[in-house]
Structure 1
């Protein structure tokens, strides 16, 4: 970790690119790809097709994320360990986003989406290593609060922009992502100066590959944090992946791209209340209570919604859900940095930790697709499909409750 104390402006610049990275997926995962599936796929196959597209993409990310992080940890570039990967990653990501924007068929859009996943994670993995590199230990909580704020602002901002303003169209959505990604990458690279790594450690394939395994017996806190975050994100992606199709198929709404954006706007309102406040509060009461309470809130919101599902209730409960999600994201990074196995391999370890997000992006859509396939085999009517959404949402709530419980197994930090 750095010994230099970061100013408020430093922390803002450090977290600014995190907004773009989350805007990126808020637009694509929640709006653009589901909208393309809704336009081009028969109603009885939409959930399965969407599940396969997003699951394969996340599988690509799961491989690239820790690998790019490990290579970044070993870089001896004069620009530092992180910035070269960020620059190359954003250039390649722009090319993939343009391919997605102009894809004439759903198959080509899916392939382009998988390329977007690959290129995105080259830069984002290295960028994640800047956090432990630059933030002194005394400022981890406040810096994590900024990152949490940018997380939910980015996710919701991408959904609002792509859904409400851009009607889910791939070209304008991709162009908006490109502008933000290039701008914030340039600002981050310009603002922060890294000390180059003078001596690259000897490279041995066996040691390199073994380094991707973090033994839970030696690092139990890291393992429990991974599991808790994995469960939380399973709940999150179980909901968000199928949100647009839920509004279309279950609530039978029109203009679902915009209405999905409105739901995300409601989440932002709640998150604004809790994100930075929860990060500061965590210094006094610890990170674990914040994570546990936040998960409990999100799980309870789902169950309350199922009592009388309507779009109006969804908007109201979206604010409450946002309070939980904002609190969770505000301490997420701080917890990770505190339980990292090694500060010298921070980008690689954060890449492994990042799998707790990318793996749910594989499993949650895949399980959802399988669930709808089974439900439709058992009953072919619309009622059977609606039953699938009810089951899916209950499963999502259970994930959140399990995430709330497992965080208490961490012993090395509050």
Structure 2
């Protein structure tokens, strides 16, 4: 169901009823706001997303672990796992629920801007709490709120893709969305080197810089005020429904969700167990791990960034999404096979490089693909993108359950079988590719 189009605020032109029905959602938004989407808009949009990723990925990948290690040096691994799990729950809930509330907003400041700005401000306050905390309880509460806040901002930011960006440009934008977390983690790590690891500066600086980048986008974003008749009522009993889109009614969306879900389980198996793989399977000494893992992650991040940009750009040119997603899944599966049968660090690096190419190509197109499959991008874009985000967060909770089963297949004398673990990951990646073949509404 598409939202009726009101006269454009800037020109006062009126569209006939038949014209409205023929307009795409981005075209409708141009009519409503008078804001055209071109290179400047897309540049600011990408910068704004990068700001959120810097704010959330810096603590997630660097500073939270430092803070926990300072407060609980003897049990830091277990404490960090618990606090990270608490944050993951917050992210899991916030994305779709905040997206639903954003879809229903009638604020005079627009539907997306209040949630993006509000999420960033609350997130900054929460990171200050974490940085100045003197107990793990306060750190846990602060990280829960921070994850909820930053993911609130992300849910509203992601809704801009199907609402405002024309289909012909979505591949290029999707590429930066897919690699945003990697860029954010690297950028945040650089900022921490500047601020140092003492005090609250290592938390506040990345979040404040992220807010600055977000401001570049939202203060130039034109939105009009929606009426309650357009967006529907806000009812607490509808909140649970924010996390659900009926797969029978929206088959193609469900297939895209399943595809990403399967690939992200395979990815979680790679990233979560790579340290133990290098220790137990390859036989590297513990003292070499920090340096070799840095090299591996640098190669992975570089491959993801390059392949996502190339895949997104090419998918816009050829006007196809499914072939790129399918090939990317197959390439990732190949990488898992290479890692499974490698006994050397060099072989592992080759597998990681191939995995980065596959993962990046997948991430560079999947946002563009799903934006064309949302049940109602005119009125519930944030909810749809929020539900889609669950396909990447739920695997983080499921992979620790699946991994022991795969590690136990064919194990000898109780030793973990990493060959079966990564062959299983390869199978999941192939299934992810197969799922896309049955999508009908996108080429």
Give the TM interval when normalised to the shorter protein: 0.7 to 0.9
1:201 to 232, 235, 260: 232
Gaps spanning 5+ residues in structure 2: where?
A: 1-24, 31-35
Alpha-carbon offset, residue 33 of structure 1: 5.2
Alpha-carbon offset, residue 219 of structure 1: 0.5
Q: Report the counterpart of residue 331 of structure 2 in structure 1.
A: 297
Measured in 1, the distance between the counterparts of 2:342 and 2:172 equals 39
Q: Report the counterpart of residue 118 of structure 2 in structure 1.
A: 88
Alpha-carbon offset, residue 346 of structure 1: 0.5
Larger Rg: 2
For residues 213-260 of structure 1, what are the alpha-carbon distances to aligned partners after superposition, in whole Å with 9 as ceiling and x for unaligned? 321111000111111111111222233345456667763343755654
Q: Could you say if the C-alpha distance between residues 132 and 302 of structure 1 is closer, same or farther in structure 2, counting changes exceeding 3 Å? A: same
Measured in 2, the distance between the counterparts of 1:204 and 1:299 equals 44
Please list, as runs of the form range in 1=range in 2, the aligned pairs for 1:224-303 lying within 5 A after superposition. Answer: 224-243=255-274, 251-254=284-287, 256=289, 259-283=292-316, 284=318, 286-303=320-337
SS at match of 2:117: helix
Instruction: Please say which of residues 359-368 and 287-296 is displaced more in the overlay.
Output: 359-368
For residues 97-151 of structure 1, what are the alpha-carbon distances to aligned partners after superposition, in whole Å with 9 as ceiling and x for unaligned? 2233344455554443323222222211111112222212332233223323434
Alpha-carbon offset, residue 12 of structure 1: 1.5
Q: Report the counterpart of residue 166 of structure 2 in structure 1.
A: 136
Counterpart contact for 1:132–1:337, Cα < 8 Å: yes
For residues 367-409 of structure 1, what are the alpha-carbon distances to aligned partners after superposition, in whole Å with 9 as ceiling and x for unaligned? 55x669x97xx99xxx95x726665544433332221222212
Measured in 2, the distance between the counterparts of 1:32 and 1:396 equals 30
Q: Report the counterpart of residue 412 of structure 1 in structure 2.
A: 441
Measured in 2, the distance between the counterparts of 1:77 and 1:313 equals 55
Q: From the two aligned structures, give the one with the greater helix fraction.
A: 1
Q: Could you say if the C-alpha distance between residues 302 and 42 of structure 1 is closer, same or farther in structure 2, counting changes exceeding 3 Å? A: farther
2:399 to 364, 367, 370: 364
Q: Report the counterpart of residue 14 of structure 1 in structure 2.
A: 45
Measured in 1, the distance between the counterparts of 2:269 and 2:73 equals 20
Please list, as runs of the form range in 1=range in 2, the aligned pairs for 1:29-108 lying within 5 A after superposition. Answer: 29-32=60-63, 46=77, 51-104=81-134, 106=136, 108=138
Measured in 2, the distance between the counterparts of 1:412 and 1:58 equals 32
Instruction: Please say which of residues 235-244 and 263-272 is displaced more in the overlay.
Output: 235-244
Q: Report the counterpart of residue 246 of structure 2 in structure 1.
A: 215
Please list, as runs of the form range in 1=range in 2, the aligned pairs for 1:149-168 lying within 5 A after superposition. Answer: 149-155=179-185, 157-158=187-188, 161=190
> Does residue 328 of structure 1 match 2:357?
no
SS at match of 2:145: helix
2:209 to 170, 180, 189: 180
Gaps spanning 5+ residues in structure 1: where?
A: none
1:354 to 389, 396, 414: 389
Q: Could you say if the C-alpha distance between residues 124 and 157 of structure 1 is closer, same or farther in structure 2, counting changes exceeding 3 Å? A: same
Counterpart contact for 1:157–1:265, Cα < 8 Å: no
Q: Could you say if the C-alpha distance between residues 96 and 37 of structure 1 is closer, same or farther in structure 2, counting changes exceeding 3 Å? A: closer
Counterpart contact for 1:167–1:258, Cα < 8 Å: no
Alpha-carbon offset, residue 83 of structure 1: 0.7
Q: What TM-score do the two structures reach when normalised by structure 2?
A: 0.78
Measured in 1, the distance between the counterparts of 2:201 and 2:356 equals 27
Q: CA-atom RMSD, angstroms?
A: 3.6
Measured in 2, the distance between the counterparts of 1:365 and 1:183 equals 37
Q: What TM-score do the two structures reach when normalised by structure 1?
A: 0.82
Q: Could you say if the C-alpha distance between residues 308 and 161 of structure 1 is closer, same or farther in structure 2, counting changes exceeding 3 Å? A: farther
Counterpart contact for 2:277–2:418, Cα < 8 Å: yes
Instruction: Please say which of residues 117-126 and 332-341 is displaced more in the overlay.
Output: 117-126
Measured in 2, the distance between the counterparts of 1:173 and 1:156 equals 14
SS at match of 1:251: coil
Counterpart contact for 1:26–1:157, Cα < 8 Å: no
Alpha-carbon offset, residue 84 of structure 1: 0.6
Measured in 2, the distance between the counterparts of 1:25 and 1:248 equals 30
Measured in 2, the distance between the counterparts of 1:172 and 1:257 equals 25
Number of matched pairs: 403
Q: Report the counterpart of residue 2 of structure 1 in structure 2.
A: 26
Measured in 2, the distance between the counterparts of 1:6 and 1:225 equals 26
